[in-house]
Amino acid sequence: MSERESLVHNSGMAILIDNKVIKSIEESSKLCAEFGTDSIPNSLNVTNCQGFAMIPGFVDCHSHLLWDGDRSNEMILRQSGHSYTDIAKMGGGISKTVKATRNATESRLAKLGNSRLNRASKFGTTTMECKSGYGLSTDSELKLLSIIDDLNTQNPIDLHATWLGAHDFPFDKTKKQYMEELLSEQLPQVIEQGIAKWADVFCEPGWYDLEQTEEIVRDAANSNLASRIHVDEFVNSDGLALAAELGCVSGDHVGYSSDDARSKANSAGCMQTFLPGTPYILGKELNLPLKKCIDNDWAFSLASDFNPNYNSLSIPFVGSLATHRLGITPLEALIGVTRNPATTLFSKDADNTPGTIRVNGPADMLIIKSKEIDGWCQYPGDNPILKTICKGDVVKL
């Protein structure tokens, strides 16, 4: 991941974009000679980077975009010594958000989604995976996925929907009843309506066990719906090993996964996705093994995990945690929020795969406040993004 010379262009380059695609990357002098500087055609829009660095648009491959409610009171509970599991048993956590989200109108959820996507654009996200998961009923989950589908047509960010009906067990059904609903009602309707690209399961002790997770993932796969699942966030429950065995495109959180599982996941093409903002906000030790992954050449991604607890859409802050607190280089972190996550969202070798600045690739790019690419993650508490370019157009923020 650290072969800097082969990955970073020298300064003084220019990029030609046509029809949302990068057509040429040349020395500025060459493109200026070709198109002229004195009489630029009206059909040609020029964005001057003024010497600032340009990097690929961020690919946030794990977010919980749509929900309503407020769980800010849970910080006091955590500071009083209550765990995530304790708070859930007290009626907080996911179930509290589910109640608020079920009661919200579609127009309110759409308004919240649009506002959050605008924030994400300001922080440089150009592609985002968005989960359902705060409905926990067939009607509510389908409503959330439908809103995500609508938002995708209204916003410059490219959205990829994930069905997360198995985020928790609802308060109004037994586990057996809800498993039957997931497999016999929700999943078939998600498939029929074609409104999700992925399936997800919150595979953790106290939520969905390995057997339940496997049943959901296999049923989804039988309907040609691939999976990316939550695993090993609180303990090592062999979730990442299961994700690798089942052919999931990613195992997310993976804070407590074993080295053996990490190796198996890498061999199986199952991306490890680390979400450092979550342990940070929960007050846990930041000890995610990013450097070990690099030392062993295990690919990984980084993502926001935007949710009611971690209410941040700033990928630069995720990069700041990865570099300042977890010890990887800015370039390694940049690959973790661009090229690597893009491979989990797009078909292998697809021309429209984002995450890199390359000829014939999509024109999703960022101009940052630094003249060096390393500056992208060195503005904690501030926004390093000067301009977000999505599909070739400068996003109006």
Question: Residue 96 has which token pair?
Answer: 């509290």
Q: Is the pLDDT of residue 49 over 50?
A: yes
| Mean of pLDDT values over 28-40 | 75
| Mean of pLDDT values over 367-373 | 97
Q: Is the pLDDT of residue 240 over 60?
A: yes
Q: pLDDT at position 40, please?
A: 63
Instruction: Quote the CA–CA distance of 193 and 188 in Å, as a whole number.
Output: 9
Indicate if the alpha-carbon torsion angle 344, 347, 349, 352 is positive or negative: negative
342-352, pLDDT tens digit by residue? 999 998 778 89
| Mean of pLDDT values over 101-128 | 98
354: nearest Cα among 25, 55, 16, 52: 55
Query: Residue 226: CB partners within 8 Å, gap ≥ 6?
Result: 197, 198, 199, 220, 247, 248, 249
Q: pLDDT at position 35, please?
A: 76
| Mean of pLDDT values over 155-174 | 97
| Mean of pLDDT values over 357-362 | 96
| Mean of pLDDT values over 29-43 | 72
Q: What DSSP letter does each residue of 66-99 carry, written as one string?
A: ------TTHHHHHHTT--HHHHHHTT-HHHHHHH
Q: pLDDT at position 1, please?
A: 45
Q: pLDDT at position 2, please?
A: 47
Query: Residue 177: CB partners within 8 Å, gap ≥ 6?
Result: none
Query: Residue 330: CB partners within 8 Å, gap ≥ 6?
Result: 319, 323, 373, 374, 375, 376, 377, 378
Strand partners, 16: 24
Q: pLDDT at position 38, please?
A: 61
Helix (H) or strand (E) holding 323: none
User: Please, what is the average pLDDT of the chain?
Assistant: 95
Can you give the C-alpha Rg of the chain in angstroms?
21
Question: Residue 128 has which token pair?
Answer: 């985002």
Q: pLDDT at position 37, please?
A: 61
| Mean of pLDDT values over 49-53 | 94
Q: Is the pLDDT of residue 214 over 50?
A: yes
Q: Is the pLDDT of residue 30 over 60?
A: yes
Q: How would residue 207 be classed by pLDDT, with cut points 50, 70 and 90?
A: very high
Does 58-345 carry CATH code 3.30.497.10?
Answer: no
Q: What is the DSSP letter of 63?
A: B
Q: pLDDT at position 200, please?
A: 99
206 backbone φψ class: left, alpha, beta (φ>0; ψ -120 to 50): left
143-156, pLDDT tens digit by residue? 999 999 999 999 99
Q: Percent of the chain scored above 90 by pLDDT? A: 88
64-85 burial, b if ≥16 CB within 10 A, otherwise e? bbbbbeebeebeebbeeebebe
Provide the whole-model pTM.
0.96
Cβ atoms of 332 and 294 within 8 Å: the answer is: yes
Q: Is the pLDDT of residue 316 over 90?
A: yes
374: nearest Cα among 120, 53, 121: 53
Q: Is the pLDDT of residue 46 over 90?
A: no
| Mean of pLDDT values over 191-202 | 98
Q: How would residue 68 be classed by pLDDT, with cut points 50, 70 and 90?
A: very high
| Mean of pLDDT values over 167-187 | 97
Cβ atoms of 28 and 12 within 8 Å: the answer is: yes
Q: pLDDT at position 341, please?
A: 99
Q: Is the pLDDT of residue 326 over 60?
A: yes
Q: What is the DSSP letter of 376?
A: G
Question: Residue 180 has which token pair?
Answer: 């039957």
Q: Percent of the chain scored above 70 by pLDDT? A: 97
Strand partners, 252: 230, 273
242-261, pLDDT tens digit by residue? 999 999 999 999 999 999 99
| Mean of pLDDT values over 48-70 | 97
Q: Is the pLDDT of residue 381 over 80?
A: yes
Query: Residue 277: CB partners within 8 Å, gap ≥ 6?
Result: 304, 305, 310, 312, 317, 318, 321
195: nearest Cα among 154, 237, 257, 144: 144
272: nearest Cα among 336, 330, 360, 357: 336
Cβ atoms of 234 and 84 within 8 Å: the answer is: yes
Q: Where exactly are the structural domains of the chain? A: 58-345
SS3 218: helix
Helix (H) or strand (E) holding 344: helix 339-345
Q: pLDDT at position 116, please?
A: 99
Q: pLDDT at position 39, please?
A: 59
Q: pLDDT at position 169, please?
A: 97
